[in-house]
Amino acid sequence: MALRKVGSKIPAFSLLSTSGKKVTSKSLLGSSYVLFFYPKDQTPGCTKEACSFRDHFSLFKKKKIAIFGISPDSIESHEKFLQKQELPYELLSDPNHSFAEKMGAWGEKSMYGKKYMGILRSTFIVNPKGEISKVYPKVSVATHAEDILKDL
């Protein structure tokens, strides 16, 4: 499935969060937010990307834009990652990658010539109406948050 397009509605979701609560598409209506899909907690590229959002968090907060990182990792894994990297935003667990699939952020990848299915690193900005206002299909992990802020 291709990545969701600008202007399309965010599919309904309900995911466990490191806040201890469920975050749902319905609960986020009326606010703007960033959903960034990443493959795995504590890996070099994912850590760079998560820290990029951490380092620019205050600028997103000023613009009243919430940030959510999403991967198939467990809440326990997310909590360790959040604490170790001092992330000031919530991480959501999508263990069976069903939401990632609905968003088009799950697909075939290749490493060392071996093909496998996994998270396709991608980011979506969602407006208060629950519509996607920007899609980032390719991400430069070190500067990703800055790139988004330039577009806002």
Active site residues: 46
Q: How many CA atoms lie within 13 A of 44 on its CB side?
A: 0
Q: What are phi and psi of 44, to 5 degrees?
A: -55, -50
Structural tokens at position 3: 């990545």
CB 72 within 8 A of CB 95: yes
> What type of residue is 64?
K
Q: How far apart are CA 91 and CA 73, in angstroms?
A: 10
What CA dihedral angle connects 35, 38, 43 and 49, to 10 degrees? -40
Query: Which secondary-structure segment (H or E) carries 109?
Result: strand 106-111
Q: How far apart are CA 132 and CA 36, in angstroms?
A: 13
